[in-house]
Amino acid sequence: MTPEFLIIHQQAQPHVAHIALNRPKELNALNLQLMTELRDALRALDEDEQVRVIVLSGNEKAFAAGADIRQMAGRTAMDMYNVDQFSTWDAIKKIKKPLIAAVSGFALGGGCELAMLCDMIVASETAKFGQPEIKIGVMPGAGGTQRLTRAVGKALAMEMVLTGKFITADEAWKAGLINRVVPVELYLEEAFRLAAEIAQLSPLAVKMAKESVLRAFDSTLDEGLHFERKNFYLLFASEDQKEGMQAFLEKRAPVFTGK
Ligand code: DAK
């Protein structure tokens, strides 16, 4: 089924897919349908052998201004429990291919959390990041208190979560939340440039490297090192390892096939 709230380009560039959130009138507020469509699209692209990297964007004015407050306002705790919105977020967390968020304008609440669920963030100078849930009587519910704190540290995370204040792209970059800031007319181009750089590498090595970096957040150092080592060994079972090392020795560019 064609998604209502997403624009999907399976090959926006060779081996790079692009999903644009598309609810512009509501500043891409993340309603349940949009999140379900996003989960399904990401899963399909994750299984698509032609795709190696996925760029996720909104539009120039908003990446996403948060979960849909209109949809949540009347909910009871039991409604929230029964709807189990977390399952879509958990499924996105399991995507194996690199996800690059291209953020312009508002990335607030669930929008900031969605950007942080991606592996890297490229932002335009106009981007604003925030967890303003406290201003509407709740608190972050999709990782904001955890991923933001790990990215920017306690002082700034606490201030953002307790006051709801927004930070600029420049502040986000200085705090280590995002990878780079570029002029607004270049933010998508820069995200695609970064995606293309990764897409020419071994897709197997890239996936296992992503998995290993993420493991650092869920494990002790020893467990993480053990996990890293297993993935490192495993890559020696791939044709890409043979090709990559042989190409180096032959002083030529490698051709990776993902096998
Ligand atoms: N939800 C619904 N509609 C929204 C919205 C949102 N989050 N953000 C903006 N809109 C709508 C506005 O209502 C308005 O619609 P109309 O009135 O034109 O019908 C339209 O988008 C344009 O917005 P504004 O007129 O307000 O535009 P401004 O430029 O004046 O202001 C703004 C932009 C982003 C500063 C402002 O719209 C704003 O403060 N928006 C709300 C930001 C916010 O509080 N975000 C956090 C929401 S709570 C969970 C997962 C995630 C979450 C929770 C649970 N589970 C897995 C369980 C996340 C929760 C949240 O994100």
Phi/psi-derived region of residue 118, left when phi > 0, alpha when psi is between -120 and 50, beta in every other case: beta
Are the CB atoms for 152 and 184 separated by under 8 Å?
A: no
Residue 143, token pair as written in the block: 């990782």
In a domain, 22, yes or no: yes
Task: Kindly state whether residues 186 and 211 are assigned to the same domain.
Answer: no
Mutate which of 27, 83, 113 to test ligand 1's pocket (most atoms within 8 Å of Cβ)? 27
In a domain, 114, yes or no: yes
| Active-site residue, 137 included | no
* Nearest-CA residue for atom 57 of ligand 1: 85
In a domain, 179, yes or no: yes
Task: Kindly state whether residues 140 and 13 are assigned to the same domain.
Answer: yes
Question: Measuring CA to CA, which residue among 69, 68, 63 is closest to residue 20?
Answer: 63
Mean pLDDT by 10 residues, the chain (259 residues): 95 97 98 97 97 98 98 92 90 97 98 98 98 98 97 98 98 98 98 98 98 96 97 97 98 96
Are the CB atoms for 147 and 116 separated by under 8 Å?
A: yes
The CATH code of the domain that includes 18 is 3.90.226.10
| Active-site residue, 110 included | yes
Task: Kindly state whether residues 84 and 209 are assigned to the same domain.
Answer: no
Residue 29 alpha carbon to ligand 1 centre in Å: 6
Residue 235: predicted pLDDT: 98
C-alpha span between 77 and 99 (Å, rounded): 31
In a domain, 254, yes or no: no
Domain boundary among 199, 221, 241: 199
Choice among 41, 102, 115, 133 that is catalytic: 133
Task: Kindly state whether residues 137 and 176 are assigned to the same domain.
Answer: yes
Residues with CB under 6 A from ligand 1: 26-27, 29, 65-70, 85-86, 89, 106, 108-110, 113, 132-133, 136, 141-142
Residue 34 alpha carbon to ligand 1 centre in Å: 14
Domain count within the chain: 2
Choice among 58, 66, 109, 110 that is catalytic: 110
Task: Kindly state whether residues 121 and 23 are assigned to the same domain.
Answer: yes
Residue 83: predicted pLDDT: 85
Task: Kindly state whether residues 238 and 135 are assigned to the same domain.
Answer: no
- Domain of residue 222, residue span: 203-249
| Active-site residue, 133 included | yes
C-alpha span between 230 and 10 (Å, rounded): 32
Q: Terminus-to-terminus CA distance in the chain, angstroms? A: 31
Task: Kindly state whether residues 176 and 195 are assigned to the same domain.
Answer: yes
